[in-house]
């Protein structure tokens, strides 16, 4: 009997649907390296993008469009005064920040109207540099990970006090929170139920359109409700949108590890709410990377893109909308 690979990605269906992805310029912020990676230069800071992504699925969208358009993350708000006052104080420690073009500008540049042409906005998580300006997306259904609404209403003290979140940030009548792992939900495109299932090395994934084209990956650790997207863009070709699974690509290659620093209360913390869970999530993603066990079959090609990867942005200018990844 031939050995079964432990973590194979699902094979394409007979009439497999594929999605088209474009990166979106969505602002920039400045991160001190010592908070993010081990063995950092204590003085070094890097101004990095907070990228969003347009994912187009070949199913009819609203207003007669031939595609269903999903935007993953919204980056940084163009108007910093629209953040809660306590959050503006935090943002003053992340300077310089760049607020233009924002996600809406980037969509318009490629010919899409944020108010009418985006069916779904999915947020990897609700940190300030990912939530952007939801008010621009007046026709969209919002999708967030489990626990996000509780977090927006109550915060997660001590590191994430209630005051930094805007409980009214998302239009509640157009927001769907994904169920916790173990619970089922109604599928996006039909009334069938779907539930989190293991996928490749990931303990829990949701087949978002029910056709194997986009999997929402439960990626605990960074913040409550943190999710990633694994997207099928061609035969055996995949893009993994990693959100804030890490802030520095060298953590995925193993050159660096997650930094720990004094939390101001005599304890060590990281930029993740649960460092051990974040490490586990990174471990699962690593199996998709060159040299990872998943790719031992030599068939699947997976590109992992994280939101703040300035190196990726520099090398891939032509893959920003209207260009494609």
Of 26-34, 124-132, 177-185, 288-296, which segment contacts Zn ion by CB under 5 A?
124-132
Closer CB to Zn ion, 246 or 295, in the complex: 246
Residues 138 to 167: which contact Zn ion by CB under 5 A? none
Quote the least distance from Cβ 31 to Zn ion, whole Å. Answer: 11
Which among 22-30, 125-133, 272-280, 284-292 is the span making contact with Zn ion, rule CB under 5 A? 125-133
Dihedrals phi, psi of 321, to nearest 5 degrees: -55, 135
Closest contact distance (angstroms) between CB of 125 and Zn ion is: 6
Which is closer to Zn ion, CB of 77 or CB of 127? 127
Query: Per DSSP, which regions of the chain are E strands?
Result: 20-24, 28-32, 45-49, 52-57, 68-72, 120-122, 141-144, 175-177, 184-186, 193-195, 197-199, 202-207, 214-218, 227-234, 237-241, 261-262, 268-269, 301-305
As measured in angstroms, the least distance from the Cβ of 108 to Zn ion is 26
- Separation of alpha carbons 256 and 37, rounded Å: 6
Helices (H), the chain: 85-91, 103-109, 128-131, 148-154, 249-253, 275-286, 310-315
Q: In whole angstroms, how close is the CB of 222 to Zn ion at the nearest point?
A: 6
3-state secondary structure of 136: helix
Q: Could you say which of 7, 56, 78, 127 contacts Zn ion (CB under 5 A)?
A: 127
Q: Is 309 in the site for Zn ion (CB under 5 A)?
A: no
Take residue 255 and report the two structure tokens written for it. Answer: 């050159």
Residues 6+ apart with CB under 8 A from 102: 26, 27, 74, 75, 76, 77, 78, 132, 133
Number of residues in the chain: 325
Q: What is the DSSP letter of 289?
A: S
What the block records as the tokens of 100 is 């233009």
Residues in 32-91 at the binding interface with Zn ion, rule: CB under 5 A? none
Q: Near Zn ion by CB under 5 A, which window of 1-9, 66-74, 213-221, 238-246? A: 238-246
Token digits of residue 27: 């602002």
Candidates 73, 119, 218, 244: give the one binding Zn ion (CB under 5 A): 244
Considering the complex, state which of residue 244 and residue 248 has its C-beta at the smaller distance from Zn ion. 244
Span from 36-44, 47-55, 86-94, 123-131 in contact with Zn ion (CB under 5 A): 123-131
Nearer to Zn ion, 56 or 127 (CB): 127
| Least distance in angstroms from the C-beta of 63 to Zn ion | 32
Question: With respect to Zn ion, which residue has the nearer C-beta, 159 or 176?
Answer: 159
At closest approach, how far in Å is the CB of 143 from Zn ion? Answer: 17
- Closer residue to Zn ion, CB minimum distance, 20 or 280: 280
Which C-beta is closer to Zn ion: that of 146 or that of 213? 146
How many residues bind Zn ion (CB under 5 A)? The answer is: 2
The nearest distance, CB 128 to Zn ion, in angstroms, is 8
Handedness of CA 188, 272, 93, 34 (dihedral sign): negative
CA distance 158 to 20: 40
CA 279, CA 272: separation in Å to the nearest integer? 9
- Min. distance of Cβ 246 from Zn ion in angstroms? 10
CB contact at 8 A, 107 and 127: no
Tokens 């009819």 label which residue? 60
DSSP assignments along 179-207, one per residue:
PPTT-EEE-SSSS-EEE-EEETTEEEEEE
Query: What minimum distance in Å lies between the beta carbon of 79 and Zn ion?
Result: 20
> Which chain residues interact with Zn ion by CB under 5 A?
127, 244
């Amino acid at each position: 009997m031939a050995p079964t690979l432990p973590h194979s990605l699902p094979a394409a269906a007979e009439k497999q649907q594929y999605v088209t992805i474009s990166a979106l310029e969505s602002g920039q912020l400045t991160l001190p390296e010592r908070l993010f990676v081990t063995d950092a230069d204590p003085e070094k800071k890097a101004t990095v993008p907070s990228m969003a992504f347009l994912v187009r699925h070949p199913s009819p969208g609203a207003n007669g469009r031939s595609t269903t358009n999903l935007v993953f993350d919204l980056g940084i708000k163009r108007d910093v005064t629209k953040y809660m006052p306590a959050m503006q104080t935090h943002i003053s420690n992340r300077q310089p920040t760049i607020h233009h073009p924002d996600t809406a500008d980037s969509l318009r540049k490629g010919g899409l109207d944020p108010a009418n042409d985006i069916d779904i906005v999915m947020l990897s998580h609700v940190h300030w540099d990912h939530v952007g300006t939801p008010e621009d997306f007046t026709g969209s259904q919002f999708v967030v990970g489990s626990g996000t609404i509780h977090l927006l209403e109550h915060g997660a003290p001590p590191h994430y006090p209630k005051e930094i979140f805007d409980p009214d940030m998302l239009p509640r009548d157009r927001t769907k929170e994904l169920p916790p792992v173990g619970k089922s939900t109604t599928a996006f495109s039909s009334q069938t139920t779907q539930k989190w299932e293991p996928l490749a090395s990931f303990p829990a994934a949701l087949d978002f359109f029910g056709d194997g084209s986009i999997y929402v990956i439960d990626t605990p650790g960074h913040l409550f409700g943190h999710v990633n997207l694994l997207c099928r863009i061609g035969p055996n070709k995949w893009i993994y949108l990693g959100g804030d699974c890490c802030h520095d690509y060298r953590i995925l290659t193993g050159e660096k590890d997650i930094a720990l620093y004094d939390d101001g209360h005599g304890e060590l913390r990281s930029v993740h709410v649960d460092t051990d869970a974040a490490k586990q999530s990174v471990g699962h993603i690593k199996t998709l990377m060159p040299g990872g066990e998943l790719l031992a079959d030599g068939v699947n090609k997976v590109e992992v893109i994280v939101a703040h990867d300035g190196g990726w942005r520099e090398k891939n200018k032509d893959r920003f909308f209207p260009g494609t990844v």
